[in-house]
Amino acid sequence: MACQEWPEPVIRVQSLSESGITSIPKRFIKSESQRPTKTIITSPKVDDIYIPVIDMQHLYGENKKLREETLEHISEACKKWGFFQVVNHGVSHELMNCAREVWSEFFHQPLEVKEVYANSPKTYEGYGSRLGLTKGAILDWSDYFFLNYMPSSLRDQAKWPTLPTSLRSVMDEYGKEVVKLGGRILELMSINLGLREDFLLNAFGGENDIGGCLRTNFYPKCPQPDLTLGLSPHSDPGGMTILLPDDYVSGLQVRRGDDWITIKHVPNAFIINIGDQIQVLSNAIYKSVEHRVIVNSNKDRVSLAFFYNPKSDLLIQPAKELVTNDRPALYPPRTYDEYRHYIRTKGPTGKAQLVESSTSQT
């Protein structure tokens, strides 16, 4: 049964940041092994590289060789990185900027305006400041707003902020465009896996029944960014994440071996990352990758993460076409709801939800 209330009073991180504190409360101080200064391994070979950048216009032109090369680049990114950036993706740059701006305006309103939308762990929908239900847990340095977009039966604009006045219309348009982009990317992944181009979309429930939700993250400036994280290491439990990052402040880091690499955002690009459900459906040909967020001592940061997920009650299991004697099914059938429940109750815990799933059948 879903928990109805948070286990203790919620701490609004932005309010802490704006209070002028010079040291952060103990509740936010990570263990030494989790602190960014202790775990980043600087390496000249990887520190300055971009994650793969895919130019999507090459996929729809008349040059077949360029299309094949681009498909191969996507395949390599899904296998080796679990992350890539897309440019010329079809979403208006003006719309992207508007989406960032309306949420920045929302978070800079008085606290009492935002508290009207305070969320609960029952659905997480609304204005929040924590993930997980463990009492006394070490917290992340961030606030967020979570809303449902797909399926349309779950889309309740009454729960979306009324201020700024343009937010609802901007986010409705933004959601439509990002859902279209997600569908195109799923087709490309299906083709690269040797499956029907509509395989992944259908596995997610089909065009009208996919699960789509948005979490806008607000990472306030922090007086001691070396002691905490904006978001702890985790892989995304859903299908695929389409991230619109802050245009000016970097913070997203991807684990690659023993290194944490800060993603250098290409202007007007979306960052795409593989979620656990695509790792399961591909039988681990494609892998979700741990990532985390560091914070900044001088600047706030806003990002929009659109989660493109399977319908919550569908069983997700490795595609039969990708299961062989040499590569048996690595995961038992489970619904997306089961994965989501894990992270909502325990918070970000690396890839524990996938490890637990794969070991449960041995």
What's the pLDDT tens digit per position in 282-317? 999 999 999 999 999 999 999 999 999 999 889 999
Is this structure's pTM higher than 0.95? no
Q: How far apart are CA 40 and CA 253, in angstroms?
A: 10
The pLDDT value recorded for residue 259 is 84
Q: How far apart are CA 119 and CA 322, in angstroms?
A: 40
What's the pLDDT tens digit per position in 216-260? 999 999 999 999 999 999 999 899 999 999 988 989 999 988 888
**pLDDT band at residue 43 using 50, 70 and 90 as cut-offs:** very low
**pLDDT band at residue 25 using 50, 70 and 90 as cut-offs:** very high
What's the pLDDT tens digit per position in 66-84? 999 999 999 999 999 999 9
Q: How far is CA 180 from CA 91, 173, 175, in A?
A: 9, 11, 9
Rounded to 10 degrees, the C-alpha dihedral 61/65/69/70 comes to 0
The pLDDT value recorded for residue 39 is 44
349 pLDDT higher than 70: no
Token pair of 126, please?
Answer: 């609304």
Q: Which of 87, 52, 44, 97 is nearest to 254 (CA)?
A: 52
3 pLDDT higher than 70: no
Work out the burial of residue 133: count CB atoms within 10 Å of its CB; fewer than 13 is exposed, 13-18 middle, 19 or more buried. middle
What's the pLDDT tens digit per position in 82-98? 999 999 999 999 999 99
Out of 21-30, 122-131, 216-225, 298-307, least confident range: 122-131
The pLDDT value recorded for residue 356 is 52
The pLDDT value recorded for residue 48 is 44
For the chain, domains (ranges, CATH) are 13-37+46-354 (2.60.120.330)
Work out the burial of residue 336: count CB atoms within 10 Å of its CB; fewer than 13 is exposed, 13-18 middle, 19 or more buried. buried
Higher pLDDT, 319 or 37: 319
**Mean pLDDT value across residues 138-158:** 93
Q: How far apart are CA 291 and CA 288, in angstroms?
A: 9
The pLDDT value recorded for residue 362 is 45
Sorted by sequence, the CB contacts under 8 Å of residue 151 that are 6+ apart come out as: 205, 208, 209, 210, 211, 212, 311
8 pLDDT higher than 50: yes
46 pLDDT higher than 80: no
In percent, how much of the chain has pLDDT > 90? Answer: 73
**pLDDT band at residue 178 using 50, 70 and 90 as cut-offs:** very high
In percent, how much of the chain has pLDDT > 70? Answer: 89
What's the pLDDT tens digit per position in 152-174? 889 988 899 999 999 999 999 99
134 pLDDT higher than 80: yes
Mean pLDDT of the chain: 90
